[in-house]
């Protein structure tokens, strides 16, 4: 290696003298991307004892290093900080001078003779060693007319994405195009689809199939079919000739080389990258003709003491556009620079294997995956390949290379699975391969390629024996198996970090090793390794409720049941980490649910009410505008005309929006908090009860009419459904429970996608359990067949009690059964075979719950203390609307929420003056444990939230800035060991600090914050707040200012309604011609 001693004639010696009299060399890193950060971290870690270097990094972007591989996720959370590889605090945590950084700064020139770099800020920075990690730029086809038009983008940086998002918002319902069918192109197309603003997204590629650099024709064609099935319009064998524009240089379309024309407003190019090597020419650093600083195996450039790593480095006339080779370069260089006395590492041909999930499709290629097409790059035993094919094979046609490689191929068109593994002629070694749909064996096979071990099973077993149907398993992986290719982390490194107690949680393991922080494709196997290693060490992987309670929900349930704990304070004293803790928004509702499942108290009883989330606090589901929905129980979907009339009268009186639910009930929306008592008084007087639509409890037991009316009915589905719903109504569980009964095999009630469902047979009922719809649908499984009617209820009693006792927090029956040891077989053993001897006990527990039933709303309207909860403001009888209502289809609904959150900096606002003012009487607040109470008060036009916590008062604005919802006073209060309090917004769980220097900060959304005000209790019996003048307060926080209005939202049906207007009696295509002014269908248009 070149000497890293500085020249004596630089005129500005960069050597630094530390306190121990030792000179430290100054290392300047140009670029702050993923590779640069990896190099910096490794260098600091390996240099911690010697302290040879002080590192200065100069980054051109405004952000610290972020996960460029995970850019697509930015569209989901819109938070740059969630992409950061290390938090910003990490960069400022080095107080010994070993590391400093500069953002928004570009290096303009390198002057090797003086060993300095000049920056865009006008600074001259000296160096001993210079490491170039400048990365690459996205390619734009500058030869293409229109390439510089408004609406042309690339997909490379956060800034690129932000510009694309801003453009898309202004060009809704137009056509977006991604050019490029490689890894980056599919990511870009996915990102544009996720924006949900373009009417159509098209993917353009010049090749015959997508991912042509990773997959052969068969595999690429399968992926193309899959992503087309997901709604992406893929156009292959297309080359862009011209980008058409209007008079203002806005993109209007594309003309292809074959003459075809398509319309579009936006084009995102993802056709490759070019190394950023522009600093090399003036500095005398040789660059490859194909781009990139030329480096040797030690990553040295052609100029002494200057190195290059990552996408800007050209090794053996190759640059690498994926992260893994760059991380490997960082490993080699950091080791060599910090261990000069040890034999130096050299950069070898990198592993270009990839495993990703693209547009929902699992794709992997490993080893020498084109060995059948191009000839093997290597053969076991050191034999070199003589074949030098260069043309891609079409749809699996193998090039004439029968002397060295044999391919074993499997294709399942039903499950969209494709595997091709390449072996030596004798079948004793695997060379590489590719997988689509099922990639579980990727790590194992890739490691076999790397070790070149002789196979001990025939090749066919890798295909035929691989369909285990389970998750990825790490048991048969060697310790040197690379688990995370993005950051070059092996199984052994993960195990070591766990066993030496460096990492006791999965979060710590990710932070320490960086595994799973790139593309995240390795996370299932990382989790598997973590769980298995912890178990081997005799430590269970914690499934704690939260930071306050070191127990799982199932364990806590048993503790509460056995010890007969009946208050939050008793629970915290028995099992909490701190006996006087306030808990949080996670553990409080769970404890409240457990009390309800065991003792069935009224959930509005003090102090049980303080444990409830907003829906349960008001016995109704809170809606977008702060109003509530009302759902009376309709057992089995059967209702009398008289009750229907009452529902209609109530809805009319209180101007409620009505909708028939999917569970055969009537939902009335728009009930104001102060009207709930009147509404339910009318419903209860008409003989109706709470439908518990707001609770983690039984919702309904849906039914078809069965033998009551249907000529095909075999069983009385309505009769059994009503009996089941009346039996299990109001019983709280870890999550909601839905049931259904069908009177015959035609299954009109859809009983096989419910938590429990019955289908009538000639002998009784088939009972199905563990199904659900929702975000992750699951078909239920048959628990028992031909169960006589009289045995149905005892069996369901056991099933539901066993679920209530053993499920995790917020776990539906579907996931619960999947996680039971032995699954459905074990469930049958417990509740049918009575393997544990607890069936009688479970039936007895259910009987006690059933006998304790009461209608929560009936009791509430009769209780003067509970009635007090149903007021909008605690200090006035006034009422205020916070969302403008819209008349639609003869009913009223709230205006749509506008896009985006409030960005006002409420926390730091400077008031002109503040003065103490009495706001509310002290007797409104309670001192009962857990010593928390709150109030929503009105001052002028501003709503304020006041909290009393352990005798002290805290005041904030009532509005959560995330969705402009005036609800914070109803949020759950949490605390931590450091004495910090926070309120959790009941809508979307934004947590706002109430005390300390950061009061007003949102701890889980950096874009949001709230105003806070001093508050205190005085001897005159009033709570005083220190507030600004009314007019000034209203100017910033007034309800009218932040009221959601109709004109702020975009009408999602504007274009649809234009098309559908007057559609009756016409072919849709005729209407479309009228709207668009064009006849016929355009290429790849909507097929009406």
Distances (CA, A) of 29 to 16, 307, 489, 530: 17, 9, 23, 34
Confidence of residue 659 (pLDDT cuts 50, 70, 90): very high
Q: Calculate Rg over the CA atoms of the chain.
A: 33
Domains along the chain with CATH numbers:
16-137+275-338 (3.50.50.60), 140-271 (3.50.50.60), 351-470 (3.30.390.30), 472-541 (1.10.10.1100), 553-616 (no CATH), 618-694 (3.90.480.10), 695-857 (3.30.413.10), 885-1047 (2.102.10.10), 1051-1088 (no CATH)
Give yes or no for residue 540 having a pLDDT over 70: no
Give yes or no for residue 856 having a pLDDT over 80: yes
Q: What is the pLDDT of residue 465?
A: 54
Per-residue pLDDT, averaged over 283-295, amounts to 95
Per-residue pLDDT, averaged over 908-920, amounts to 95
Give yes or no for residue 587 having a pLDDT over 50: yes
Q: What is the pLDDT of residue 1088?
A: 20
Sign of CA dihedral 474, 478, 479, 485: negative
pLDDT digit string, tens, across residues 79-89? 888 889 998 88
Give yes or no for residue 19 having a pLDDT over 70: no
Give yes or no for residue 1083 having a pLDDT over 70: no
Confidence of residue 472 (pLDDT cuts 50, 70, 90): low
Q: Are 414 and 427 in contact (CB under 8 A)?
A: no
* Lowest mean per-residue pLDDT among 666-670, 686-690, 896-900: 896-900
Burial class (CB in 10 A: 0-12, 13-18, 19+), 781: middle
Q: Are 35 and 329 in contact (CB under 8 A)?
A: yes
In terms of pLDDT, which residue wins out, 505 or 696? 696
Distance from C-alpha of 220 to C-alpha of 600, rounded to nearest angstrom: 58
Confidence of residue 543 (pLDDT cuts 50, 70, 90): confident
Q: What is the pLDDT of residue 399?
A: 42
* Lowest mean per-residue pLDDT among 70-79, 311-320, 710-719: 70-79
Q: What is the pLDDT of residue 73?
A: 78
Q: What is the pLDDT of residue 1086?
A: 27
Per-residue pLDDT, averaged over 845-873, amounts to 93
Distance from C-alpha of 953 to C-alpha of 1012, rounded to nearest angstrom: 11
Tokens of 183: 């890894």
pLDDT digit string, tens, across residues 53-74? 999 999 999 999 999 887 877 7
Distances (CA, A) of 18 to 54, 787, 889: 10, 82, 77
Confidence of residue 12 (pLDDT cuts 50, 70, 90): very low
Distance from C-alpha of 670 to C-alpha of 549, rounded to nearest angstrom: 37
Give yes or no for residue 1059 having a pLDDT over 80: no
Confidence of residue 863 (pLDDT cuts 50, 70, 90): very high
Q: What is the pLDDT of residue 625?
A: 85
Q: Are 361 and 223 in contact (CB under 8 A)?
A: yes
Tokens of 308: 């290059």
Segment of 88-97, 173-182, 819-828 carrying the highest mean pLDDT: 173-182
Distance from C-alpha of 200 to C-alpha of 1082, rounded to nearest angstrom: 13
Q: What is the pLDDT of residue 22?
A: 59
**Residue for token pair 């659900």:** 772
Distance from C-alpha of 731 to C-alpha of 804, rounded to nearest angstrom: 10
pLDDT digit string, tens, across residues 718-754? 999 999 999 999 999 999 999 999 999 999 999 999 9
In terms of pLDDT, which residue wins out, 614 or 793? 793
Q: What is the pLDDT of residue 10?
A: 31
Residue 206 C-beta-side C-alpha neighbours within 13 Å: 11
Segment of 357-371, 758-772, 927-941 carrying the highest mean pLDDT: 758-772
Nearest to 6 by CA among 29, 24, 21, 31: 24
Per-residue pLDDT, averaged over 610-621, amounts to 89
Distance from C-alpha of 470 to C-alpha of 422, rounded to nearest angstrom: 24
Per-residue pLDDT, averaged over 517-535, amounts to 78
Nearest to 982 by CA among 566, 588, 567: 588
Mean pLDDT across the chain, nearest whole number? 87
Give the residues across from 862 on adjacent strands: none
**Residue for token pair 């002789």:** 454
Give yes or no for residue 980 having a pLDDT over 80: yes
Distances (CA, A) of 443 to 329, 483, 903, 925: 21, 7, 45, 60
Q: What is the pLDDT of residue 1062?
A: 54
DSSP secondary structure of 875-930: S-S-----B-EEEETTEEEEPPPPSS------TTPPPS--EEEEEEEGGGS--STT
In terms of pLDDT, which residue wins out, 249 or 1006? 249
Give yes or no for residue 596 having a pLDDT over 70: yes
pLDDT digit string, tens, across residues 375-384? 888 888 654 4
Q: What is the pLDDT of residue 11?
A: 32
Q: What is the pLDDT of residue 716?
A: 96
Distance from C-alpha of 208 to C-alpha of 224, rounded to nearest angstrom: 10
Q: What is the pLDDT of residue 475?
A: 65
Neighbours of 1070 (CB within 10 A): 12
Distance from C-alpha of 971 to C-alpha of 186, rounded to nearest angstrom: 41
In terms of pLDDT, which residue wins out, 461 or 47? 47
* Lowest mean per-residue pLDDT among 341-350, 356-365, 1068-1077: 1068-1077
Burial class (CB in 10 A: 0-12, 13-18, 19+), 38: buried
Distance from C-alpha of 590 to C-alpha of 593, rounded to nearest angstrom: 5
């Amino acid at each position: 290696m070149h000497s890293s001693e500085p020249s004596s004639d630089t005129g500005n010696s960069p050597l630094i003298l530390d306190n121990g009299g030792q000179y430290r060399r100054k290392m300047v890193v140009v670029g702050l991307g993923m590779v640069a950060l990896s190099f910096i971290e490794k260098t600091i870690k390996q240099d911690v004892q010697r302290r040879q270097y002080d590192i200065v990094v100069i980054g051109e972007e405004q952000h610290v290093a972020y996960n460029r591989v995970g850019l697509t996720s930015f569209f989901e959370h819109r938070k740059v900080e969630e992409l950061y590889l290390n938090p910003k605090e990490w960069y400022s945590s080095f107080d010994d001078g070993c590391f400093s950084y500069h953002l928004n700064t570009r290096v303009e020139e390198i002057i090797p003779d003086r060993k300095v770099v000049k920056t865009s800020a006008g600074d001259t920075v000296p160096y001993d060693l210079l490491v170039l990690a400048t990365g690459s730029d996205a390619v734009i086809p500058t030869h293409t007319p229109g390439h510089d038009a408004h609406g042309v983008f690339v997909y490379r940086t956060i800034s690129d994405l932000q510009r694309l998002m801003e453009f898309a918002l202004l060009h809704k319902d137009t056509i977006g195009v991604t050019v490029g069918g490689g890894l980056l192109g599919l990511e870009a197309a996915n990102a544009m689809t996720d924006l949900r603003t373009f009417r159509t997204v098209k993917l353009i590629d010049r090749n015959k199939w997508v991912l042509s650099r990773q997959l052969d024709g068969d595999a690429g064609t399968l992926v193309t079919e899959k992503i087309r099935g997901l709604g992406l319009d893929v156009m292959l064998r297309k080359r862009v000739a011209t980008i058409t524009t209007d008079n203002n240089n806005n993109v209007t379309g594309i003309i292809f080389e074959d003459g075809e024309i398509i319309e579009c407003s936006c084009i995102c190019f993802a056709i490759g990258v070019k190394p950023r090597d522009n600093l090399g020419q003036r500095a005398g650093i040789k660059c490859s003709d194909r781009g990139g600083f030329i480096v040797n195996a030690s990553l040295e450039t052609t100029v002494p003491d200057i190195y290059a790593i990552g996408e800007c480095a050209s090794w053996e006339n190759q640059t690498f556009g994926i992260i893994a080779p760059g991380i490997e370069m960082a490993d080699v260089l950091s080791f060599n620079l910090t261990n000069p006395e040890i034999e130096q590492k050299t950069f070898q041909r990198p592993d270009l294997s990839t495993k990703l999930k693209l547009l929902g499709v699992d794709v992997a290629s490993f080893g020498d995956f084109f060995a059948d097409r191009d000839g093997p790059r290597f053969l076991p035993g050191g034999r070199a390949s003589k074949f030098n094919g260069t043309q891609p094979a079409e749809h699996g046609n193998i090039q004439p290379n029968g002397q060295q490689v044999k391919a074993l191929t499997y294709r399942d068109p039903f499950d969209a699975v494709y595997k091709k593994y390449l072996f030596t002629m004798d079948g004793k070694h695997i060379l590489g391969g590719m997988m689509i749909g099922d990639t579980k064996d990727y790590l194992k096979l890739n490691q076999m390629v790397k070790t070149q071990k002789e196979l001990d099973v025939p090749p066919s077993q890798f295909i035929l024996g691989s369909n285990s149907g389970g998750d990825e398993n790490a048991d048969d992986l060697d310790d040197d198996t690379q688990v995370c290719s993005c950051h070059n982390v092996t199984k052994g490194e993960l195990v070591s970090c766990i066993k030496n107690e460096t990492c006791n949680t999965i979060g710590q393991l990710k932070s320490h090793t960086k595994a799973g922080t790139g593309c995240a494709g390795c996370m299932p196997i990382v989790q598997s390794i973590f769980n298995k290693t912890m178990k081997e060490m005799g430590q269970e992987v914690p499934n704690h409720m939260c930071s306050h309670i070191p127990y799982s929900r199932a364990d806590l349930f048993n503790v509460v049941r056995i010890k007969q704990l009946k208050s939050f304070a008793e629970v915290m004293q028995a099992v909490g980490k701190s006996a006087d803790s306030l808990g949080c928004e996670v553990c409080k509702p769970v404890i409240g649910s457990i009390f309800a499942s065991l003792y069935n108290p009224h959930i509005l009883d003090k102090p049980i009410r303080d444990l409830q989330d907003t829906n349960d606090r008001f016995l109704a589901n809170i809606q977008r505008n702060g109003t509530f929905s009302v759902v009376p129980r309709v057992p089995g979907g059967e209702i009398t005309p008289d009750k229907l009339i009452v529902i209609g009268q109530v809805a009319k009186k209180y101007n409620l929006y009505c909708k028939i639910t999917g569970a055969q009930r009537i939902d009335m929306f728009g009930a104001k908090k102060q009207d709930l008592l009147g509404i339910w008084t009318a419903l209860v007087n008409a003989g109706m009860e709470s439908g518990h639509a707001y609770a983690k409890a039984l919702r309904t037991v849906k039914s078809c009419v069965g033998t009551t009316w249907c000529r095909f009915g075999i069983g009385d589905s309505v009769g059994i459904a009503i009996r089941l719903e009346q039996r299990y109504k109001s019983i709280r569980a870890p999550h909601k429970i839905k049931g259904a009964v069908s009177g015959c095999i035609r299954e009109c009630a859809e009983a096989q996608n419910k938590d429990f469902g019955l289908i009538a047979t000639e002998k009784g009922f088939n009972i199905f359990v563990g199904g659900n719809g929702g975000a992750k649908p699951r078909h239920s499984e048959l628990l028992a067949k031909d169960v006589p009617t009289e045995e149905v209820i005892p069996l369901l009693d056991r099933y539901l009690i066993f679920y209530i006792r053993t499920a995790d927090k917020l776990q539906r029956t579907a996931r619960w059964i999947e996680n039971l040891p032995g699954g459905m077989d074990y469930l049958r053993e417990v509740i049918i075979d009575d393997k544990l001897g607890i069936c009688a006990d479970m039936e007895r527990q259910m009987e006690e719950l059933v006998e304790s039933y009461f209608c929560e709303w009936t009791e509430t309207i009769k209780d003067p203390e509970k009635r007090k909860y149903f007021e909008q403001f605690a200090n006035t009888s006034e009422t205020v609307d916070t969302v403008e209502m819209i008349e639609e289809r003869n009913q009223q609904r709230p205006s749509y929420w506008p896009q985006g959150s409030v960005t006002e900096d409420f926390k730091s606002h400077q008031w002109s003056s503040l003065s103490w003012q009495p706001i509310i009487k002290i007797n409104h607040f309670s001192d009962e444990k857990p010593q928390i109470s709150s109030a929503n008060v009105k001052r002028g036009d501003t709503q304020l939230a006041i909290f009393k916590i352990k005798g002290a008062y805290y005041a904030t604005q009532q509005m959560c800035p995330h969705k402009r919802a005036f609800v914070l006073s109803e949020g759950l209060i949490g605390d931590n060991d450091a004495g910090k309090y926070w309120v959790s917004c009941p809508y979307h769980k934004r947590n706002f600090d109430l005390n300390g220097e950061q009061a007003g900060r949102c701890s889980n959304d950096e874009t949001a914050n709230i105003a806070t005000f001093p508050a205190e209790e005085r001897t005159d019996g009033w709570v005083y707040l220190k507030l600004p003048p009314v007019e000034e307060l209203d100017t910033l926080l007034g309800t009218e200012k932040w009221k959601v209005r109709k004109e702020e939202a975009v009408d999602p049906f504007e274009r649809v309604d234009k098309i559908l207007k007057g559609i009756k009696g016409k072919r849709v295509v005729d209407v479309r011609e009228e709207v668009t002014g064009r006849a016929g269908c355009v290429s790849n248009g909507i097929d009406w």
